[in-house]
Amino acid sequence: MPQFAKSVTATVPAKVNLALGVGPLRADGYHELATVYQAVGLYDEITVSRRSAGSGITISAAGPDAESVPIDRTNLAWQAAELVSSQADAEPDVHIHIDKRIPIAGGMAGGSADAAGALLACDVLWRASLPREQMAELASELGSDIPFLLYGGTAIGTGRGENITSAMARGSYHWVFAVSDRGLPTPKVYAECDRLRTGSQVGEPTVPPSLMEALLAGDPIRVGESLVNDLQPAAISLRPELDLVLEIGNDAGALGSLVSGSGPTCAFLVADEEAALDLAVSLSASGLCSGVERATGPVGGAKLKES
């Protein structure tokens, strides 16, 4: 390994929320959550390369949806590089290349994955070696679900989703994802959730014990039965066609289905690879979604390679 790498590549997985309990709106504008994340084998690759002194940050993107990736400071990966540079006392002169495979604004933490990748890659590129807790803190500053992507696996998220405790989970799970080419902005989905709940008492969010038991047992049938997402009614209210997409999975015998995070991606848990292929064909033929992805979970968190 060269002493000073010219570039560092981070491979970061997407996530699906097996349970997403949404509590009341807090004074800081966030909602209290009780969620169970699972990292799935769908990856963005973020490569951070040195640039000459004083030349600043640039971003490029590749992949089918590359033209929708912001290449300015609004990209969380850019902000991640700035954060690490200030902590590491390094000049932020880097090019960030994002090979985008995770759906954009799809409820699978695509933008968050790029931020997590940039954080970790910059830390290695600049030999900052920031402590793990500090990295998790920077991650949570950038977004609620970014700390989880540093760890991967299956984990419980509390607070606004940034406090991570790893979950006791067995087994490997087969997922099919129905992707929409029109993303849903997360704040809009939370706001719709609040609107739909107007006048009703919202309690503290909880993780369903049945889900935790099923994960501990490694029982995909019971995991499928326990999937739950409090944001789902809001996502469907904004995109009524998602109900039809979810129905396709139910008709095809999926073990469980739900909107992934704030949507609009729909996630289906199926029994095996063959069932995943069959469902992928049905979803593609329906014309109701713009793409279909298959992946297994849980997978580990971000991985790094120097060159």
List residues binding ligand C5P (CB under 6 A): 30-31, 33, 143-144, 160-161, 186-187, 190
CB of 144 to ligand C5P, least distance (A): 3
CB of 81 to ligand C5P, least distance (A): 17
Catalytic residue among 15, 114, 123, 230: 15
Q: How, if at all, do strands 7-25 and 228-229 pair?
A: parallel
Compare residues 6 and 26 and give the one whose CB is closer to ligand C5P: 26
Compare residues 161 and 224 and give the one whose CB is closer to ligand C5P: 161
The dihedral built from the CA positions of residue 282, 284, 285 and 288, taken in this order, carries a sign that is positive
CB of 142 to ligand C5P, least distance (A): 7
DSSP string of 81-122, one letter each residue: HHHHHHHHT----EEEEEE--SPTTSSS-HHHHHHHHHHHHH
Task: Clarify whether 15 is annotated catalytic.
Answer: yes
CB of 235 to ligand C5P, least distance (A): 13
Query: Encoding tokens for residue 295?
Result: 């992946």
CB-CB contact of 303 with 179 (8 Å): no
How many other CB atoms are there within 10 angstroms of residue 69's CB atom?
20
Compare residues 9 and 232 and give the one whose CB is closer to ligand C5P: 232
Compare residues 39 and 125 and give the one whose CB is closer to ligand C5P: 39
Would you call the peptide bond into 264 cis, given omega within 30 degrees of 0 as the criterion?
A: yes
Would you call the peptide bond into 209 cis, given omega within 30 degrees of 0 as the criterion?
A: no
CB of 108 to ligand C5P, least distance (A): 12
Nearest to 104 by CA among 239, 290, 299: 290
Compare residues 116 and 223 and give the one whose CB is closer to ligand C5P: 116
Query: Encoding tokens for residue 149?
Result: 């992507």
Q: How far is CA 212 from the centre of its chain?
A: 20
Compare residues 177 and 190 and give the one whose CB is closer to ligand C5P: 190
The CA distance from 21 to 44, in Å, is 27
Task: Clarify whether 145 is annotated catalytic.
Answer: yes
CB of 160 to ligand C5P, least distance (A): 3
Catalytic residue among 44, 114, 123, 145: 145
Q: Which residues of 30-65 are buried (b: 16+ CB within 10 A; e: fewer)?
A: ebbbbbbbbbbbbbbbbbbbbeeeeeebebebebeb
What residues act catalytically? Answer: 15, 145
